């Protein structure tokens, strides 16, 4: 395994980095474990100040940090800059709420009982290339505030981003070992999961990766949080503003060049006539996207992350066509340097088509037209995934009603799925389990310890008749 930057816009290999030796990895874990024993005792306000400093560093040098994203994985530069800002916002969110999140909770029904929140140890994060700062920040933010230490294995194709985020932590004053980046192999990652110095594991990735990590962690009885794939439906009901819904659907499908677990991958329109009109408009807007240098702010279509990713998408499109799908627009590689694929719209996908349950991780949308709202809900739920979903309607109460019938971790009414520090993020079914962000994400890797104080001489069980005052 090699950690390397291959510029997706040109195909040129820019940098390579060696993986750790087993001895170096062991030393990293020992340093992290030792650092945790000190970090957990650090006053909460000091931990918060350090995270605030990290957020400030990201904002102060956002142009530099954004360039690493675009060079590593090809994201449009404007979206890279937005990701830097989002990562900073997550760090600020947890720093600003540190005292509240860690405050003891009294249990009025049982006088003398209180629940305190404590860290559990070293958290191992396995993170993808898709959003190389945001997805690390949503682990590091809550876990460092909680008093845990974090070891991150990033994806092999975003090494500059991995090193840059580690530098941010160092500049902010995070002690050595409290935040650690490791260029580890898959085999070494399995060793880390099993290591007794590691308390828990979080992973964002494919179903295959998630299943492997869950199996390895299960052998050691360690908690895991998993954010895996998605095939998010975007439903346009018959009363929705069609122009707005279609424009938003294109944004939801093509953000990050369609490389998002929570992207709007399946567009479902209620009503044949509106479906035909929506397909025309959607196809036209997809076709208007122009490939170019992702460093150029005027570019509207960037490359996908790698040659392998582009070729897999092309193969998936061909298999869908072979099974009876129609390629309305796109479907081919773009003849230019780098890893570009035409924005593609597929129709005519039935349940027998391999594409019916395929997660197209790139600029490929599946488009469906159904007769009724009930049909739309049924189609939306007929997937092994359950990450996010969207419903467009002029009647927000109706939107809430439809949302209640969709099997997913998140539903957005009149917007594509999006993310923010204050919104819990996660899915159901094969999209994983557990939550990140908001207070829910903070609570995944902490010990909610019960401390029950009874007056001297109290009975062996039951509430204390008298609790000594501090």
Contact 391, 403 (CB under 8 A): yes
Confidence of residue 466 (pLDDT cuts 50, 70, 90): low
What pLDDT score was predicted for residue 462? 83
> Rounded mean pLDDT of 70-96?
98
Q: Is 266 helix (H, G, I), strand (E, B) or coil?
A: strand
Contact 127, 204 (CB under 8 A): yes
The residues near 282 (Cβ < 8 Å, ≥ 6 apart) are 246, 249, 250, 267, 345, 365, 367
| Residue 467 scores a pLDDT above 60 | no
How is the beta sheet containing 223-227 ordered, strand by strand? 179-181, 149-153, 122-126, 198-204, 223-227, 432-433
> Rounded mean pLDDT of 419-441?
97
Q: Is 50 helix (H, G, I), strand (E, B) or coil?
A: helix
* Catalytic member of 261, 342, 436, 444: 261
| Residue 470 scores a pLDDT above 70 | no
- Residue 416's Cβ-count burial label (10 Å; 0-12, 13-18, 19+) is buried
Whole-number mean pLDDT of the chain?
97
Separation of alpha carbons 297 and 317, rounded Å: 29
Separation of alpha carbons 202 and 227, rounded Å: 8
Active site residue 227: yes
Q: What is the dihedral of CA 406, 408, 412, 416, to 10 degrees?
A: -110
Separation of alpha carbons 182 and 20, rounded Å: 7
Q: What is the pLDDT of residues 12-25, one digit of tens each?
A: 999 999 999 999 99
Contact 150, 182 (CB under 8 A): no
Separation of alpha carbons 280 and 282, rounded Å: 6
Contact 79, 131 (CB under 8 A): no
Q: What is the pLDDT of residues 45-73, one digit of tens each?
A: 999 999 999 999 999 999 999 999 999 99
Active site residue 397: no
* Catalytic member of 227, 342, 436, 444: 227
Q: Which two tokens stand for residue 404?
A: 């209640």
Q: Which two tokens stand for residue 92?
A: 């600020």
Closest by CA position to 233, among listed 410, 30, 96: 410
Q: What is the pLDDT of residues 365-416, one digit of tens each?
A: 999 999 999 999 999 999 999 999 999 999 999 999 999 999 999 999 999 9
């Amino acid at each position: 395994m090699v950690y390397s930057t291959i510029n997706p816009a040109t195909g040129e290999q820019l940098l390579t980095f060696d993986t750790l030796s087993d001895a170096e990895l062991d030393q990293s874990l020992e340093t992290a474990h030792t650092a945790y024993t000190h970090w957990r005792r650090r006053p909460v306000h000091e931990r918060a100040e350090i995270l605030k400093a990290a957020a400030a560093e990201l904002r102060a040098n956002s142009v530099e940090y954004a360039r690493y994203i675009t060079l590593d994985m090809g994201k449009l530069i404007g979206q890279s800059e937005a990701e830097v800002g989002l990562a900073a916002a997550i760090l600020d969110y947890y720093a600003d709420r540190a005292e509240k999140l860690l405050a003891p909770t009294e249990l009025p029904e049982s006088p003398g009982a209180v629940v305190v929140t404590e860290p559990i140890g070293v958290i191992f994060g396995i993170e993808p290339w898709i959003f190389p700062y945001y997805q690390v920040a949503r682990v590091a933010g809550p876990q460092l505030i909680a008093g845990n230490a974090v070891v991150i294995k990033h994806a092999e194709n975003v090494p500059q981003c991995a090193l840059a985020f580690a530098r941010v932590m160092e500049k902010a004053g995070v002690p050595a070992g409290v935040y650690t980046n490791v260029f580890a192999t898959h085999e070494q990652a399995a060793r880390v999961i099993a290591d007794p110095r590691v308390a828990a594991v979080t992973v964002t990735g494919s179903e295959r990766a998630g299943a492997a990590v869950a199996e390895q962690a299960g052998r050691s009885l360690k908690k895991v949080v998993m954010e895996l794939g998605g095939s998010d439906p975007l439903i346009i009901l018959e009363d929705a503003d069609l122009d707005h819904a279609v424009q938003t659907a294109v944004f939801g499908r093509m953000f990050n060049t369609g490389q998002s677990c929570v992207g709007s991958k399946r567009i479902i329109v209620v009503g044949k006539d509106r479906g035909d009109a929506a397909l025309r408009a959607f196809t036209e807007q997809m076709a208007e996207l122009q490939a170019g240098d992702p460093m150029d702010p005027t570019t509207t279509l960037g490359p996908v992350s790698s040659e392998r990713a582009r070729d897999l998408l092309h193969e998936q499109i061909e298999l869908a066509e072979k099974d009876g799908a129609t390629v309305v627009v796109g479907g081919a590689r773009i003849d230019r340097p780098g890893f570009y694929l035409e924005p593609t719209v597929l129709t005519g996908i039935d349940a027998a088509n391999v594409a019916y349950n395929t997660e197209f991780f790139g600029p490929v949308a599946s488009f469906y037209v159904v007769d009724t709202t009930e049909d739309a809900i049924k189609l939306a739920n007929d997937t092994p995934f359950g990450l996010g979903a969207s419903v467009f309607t002029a009647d927000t109460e109706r939107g809430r009603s439809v949302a209640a019938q969709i099997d997913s971790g998140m539903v957005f009414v009149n917007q594509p799925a999006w993310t923010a520090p204050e919104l819990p993020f996660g899915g159901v079914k094969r999209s994983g389990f557990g939550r990140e962000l908001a207070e829910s994400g903070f609570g995944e890797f902490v010990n909610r310890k019960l401390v029950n104080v009874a007056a001297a001489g109290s009975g062996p069980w039951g509430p204390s008749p008298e609790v000594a005052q501090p």
